[in-house]
């Protein structure tokens, strides 16, 4: 009886042991150990492992803020893009032996043996329901044909009714139904601050309805007239330009620069193709001053003093032994100009300092009427904002180390 139980226990133990060995070998098979009954070797396929990234938690208030920023831009685009138009122009160019290019959509124009026509494009925006559209002067200057394409694709011919090269502004008129015209709201460029949001709308490279964003990078910039159209040797400058890093490219010229309320704060006018993130816009307060006159009279007359100059530098202070450290030095006086008649004097000698030439001896202007002059541009800005042709101004100058006053009656700026 005892022997029988022992044999049964041994059989049970053997069965359990065999099962454990089989299970163990089977579990190790994926690791390269063959299961029972196979003697050949084989290479096990690699197991691909996937790493599932766990996103970092974002505070709900940041998501709300980001959504609000997106919705602000979306709203501005929906409201303002219908006001922006694409402008296509054809200009007659002088050449020798060049053929007239085929320009689809434009009527045939006569050409001489030394003429051809060049096609260009830009942007503009509606300012009323009568069809007046503001753009840059360099966009439409010399145009033989002007076409305007609205946001819905409608294309109409337009007429140039007023141009002002000195501010690079122009007004064109299109006979369009009122439902295509969405006048913009003009802001106040005198209240702008560096760091505020800047939003550009336009048609860069002919890509209609493009929005770019950035900030106001600087205020009060000055560029020679014609810079936007690559004209060299301009005698006058456009003052008070807005500098922005919002992308401005060919075709953006004439489009609006907006603030976060969707108000126009400037007209995109120039960019530097060699520098990324530097663009310029004519301030909207210049638009308010110039455009109504362009609509009424076709041109804008600027008061003119007739000097060229620069800011006073430390080297000038030392070389001329000046009693002031800020101001504007008169370098040249235009013959027969108001400045010439008032007796202002330009620079009379040149010296070399640190490898650079300094023009010295000219009058140093430190005040115009009751306003201080800290740099040369202050004179230009004051004349443009506060005077008119025929008005007399009083200039406080330093001549030969002594302060004195000069009175000048402003003339009209030459048009050539």
Block residue for tokens 């210049």? 286
State the pLDDT at residue 234: 43
Q: Which of 69, 19, 384, 55 is nearest to 213 (CA)?
A: 69
Boundary-marking domain end, from 297, 326, 358? 297
User: Is there a catalytic annotation at residue 132?
Assistant: no
Tell me which of 253, 337, 363, 378 is the catalytic residue.
Answer: 253
Distance CA 199, CA 263 (A): 10
- Let me know whether 276 and 196 are in one domain: yes
CATH number of the domain encompassing residue 329 = 2.30.42.10
Handedness of CA 57, 60, 65, 66 (dihedral sign): positive
| pLDDT over 60 (residue 96) | no
Torsion of CA 98, 99, 104, 110, to 10 degrees: 100
pLDDT of residue 38 exceeding 60: no
Split at pLDDT 50, 70, 90, the class of 231 is very low
Higher-pLDDT residue of 236, 330: 330
Which CATH number fits the domain that encloses residue 271? 2.40.10.10
Same structural domain, 288 and 307? no
Do both 268 and 324 map to the same domain? Answer: no
- Tell me the per-residue pLDDT of 112-144, one tens digit each, with 9 for 90 and over: 555 677 888 999 999 999 999 999 999 999 899
Residues 242 and 286 occupy one common structural domain: yes
- Give DSSP secondary structure letters for 18-55: HHHHHHHHHHHGGGTPPPTT-----PPPPPP------P
pLDDT above 90 as % of the chain: 61
* Catalytic member of 164, 168, 363, 378: 168
Q: Where are the beta strands (DSSP E) in 138-253?
A: 143-149, 155-164, 169-174, 197-202, 210-224, 237-244
Eight-class DSSP state of 57: P
Q: Identify whether residues 313 and 291 lie together within a single domain.
A: no
Are residue 287 and residue 195 in the same domain, yes or no? yes
The pTM (predicted TM-score) of the whole model is 0.75
From 138, 164, 167, 378, active-site residue? 138
Position 370 in a domain: yes
Neighbours of 115 (CB within 10 A): 15
Q: Which two tokens stand for residue 190?
A: 């005198």
pLDDT of 94: 64
pLDDT at site 22: 41
Is residue 195 included in any domain, yes or no?
yes
Is residue 227 within 8 Å of residue 239, measured between CB atoms? no
Question: For position 79, what pLDDT does the model report?
Answer: 95
Residue entry with tokens 């070797």: 41
Tell me: do 290 and 206 sit in the same domain: yes
Domain count, the chain: 2
Question: What domain range is 257 assigned to?
Answer: 189-297
Q: Any residues with CB less than 8 A from the CB of 118 and at least 6 apart, and which?
A: 90, 91, 93
Is residue 329 within 8 A of residue 345, CB to CB? The reply is no
**256-268, pLDDT tens digit by residue?**
999 999 999 999 9
Same domain, 376 and 337: yes
Of 167, 172, 73, the closest CA to residue 122 belongs to 172
- Final residue of a domain: which of 274, 297, 320? 297
């Amino acid at each position: 009886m005892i022997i029988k139980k022992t044999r049964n226990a041994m059989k049970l133990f053997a069965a359990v042991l065999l099962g454990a060995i089989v299970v163990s070998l089977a579990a190790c098979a994926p690791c390269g150990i063959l299961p029972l009954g196979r003697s050949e070797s084989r290479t096990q396929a690699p197991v691909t492992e996937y790493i599932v990234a766990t996103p970092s938690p974002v505070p709900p208030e940041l998501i709300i803020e980001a959504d609000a920023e997106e919705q602000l831009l979306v709203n501005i685009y929906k409201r303002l893009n219908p006001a922006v138009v694409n402008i296509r122009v054809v200009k007659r160019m002088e050449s020798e032996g060049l053929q007239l290019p085929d320009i689809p959509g434009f009527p045939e124009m006569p050409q001489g043996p030394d003429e051809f026509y060049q096609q260009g494009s830009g942007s503009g925006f509606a300012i009323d329901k009568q069809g007046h559209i503001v753009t840059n002067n360099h966009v439409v200057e010399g145009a033989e044909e002007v076409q305007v394409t609205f946001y819905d694709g409608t294309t109409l011919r337009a007429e140039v009714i007023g141009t002002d090269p000195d501010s690079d502004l122009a007004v064109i008129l299109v006979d369009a139904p009122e439902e295509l015209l969405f006048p913009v709201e003009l802001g106040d460029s005198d209240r702008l601050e560096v760091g505020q949001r800047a939003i550009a709308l336009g048609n860069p490279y002919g890509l209609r309805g493009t929005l770019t964003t950035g900030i106001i990078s600087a205020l009060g910039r000055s560029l020679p007239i014609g810079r936007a159209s690559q004209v060299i040797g301009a005698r006058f400058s456009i003052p008070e330009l807005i500098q922005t890093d919002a992308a401005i490219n060919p075709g953006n010229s004439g489009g609006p620069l907006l603030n976060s309320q969707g108000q126009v704060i400037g007209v995109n006018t120039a960019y530097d193709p060699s520098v990324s993130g530097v663009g310029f816009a004519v301030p909207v307060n210049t638009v308010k001053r110039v455009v109504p006159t362009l609509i009424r009279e076709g041109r804008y007359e600027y008061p003119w003093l007739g000097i060229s100059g620069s800011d006073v530098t430390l080297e000038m202070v030392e070389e001329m032994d000046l009693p002031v450290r800020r101001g504007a030095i008169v370098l040249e006086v235009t013959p027969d100009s108001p400045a010439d008649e008032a007796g202002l004097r330009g620079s009379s000698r040149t010296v070399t300092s640190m490898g650079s030439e300094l023009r010295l001896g000219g009058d140093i202007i430190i005040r115009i009427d009751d306003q201080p002059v800290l740099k040369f541009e202050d004179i230009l800005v004051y004349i443009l904002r506060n005077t008119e042709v025929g008005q007399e101004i009083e200039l406080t100058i330093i001549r030969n180390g002594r302060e004195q006053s000069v009175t000048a009656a402003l003339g009209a700026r030459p048009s050539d």
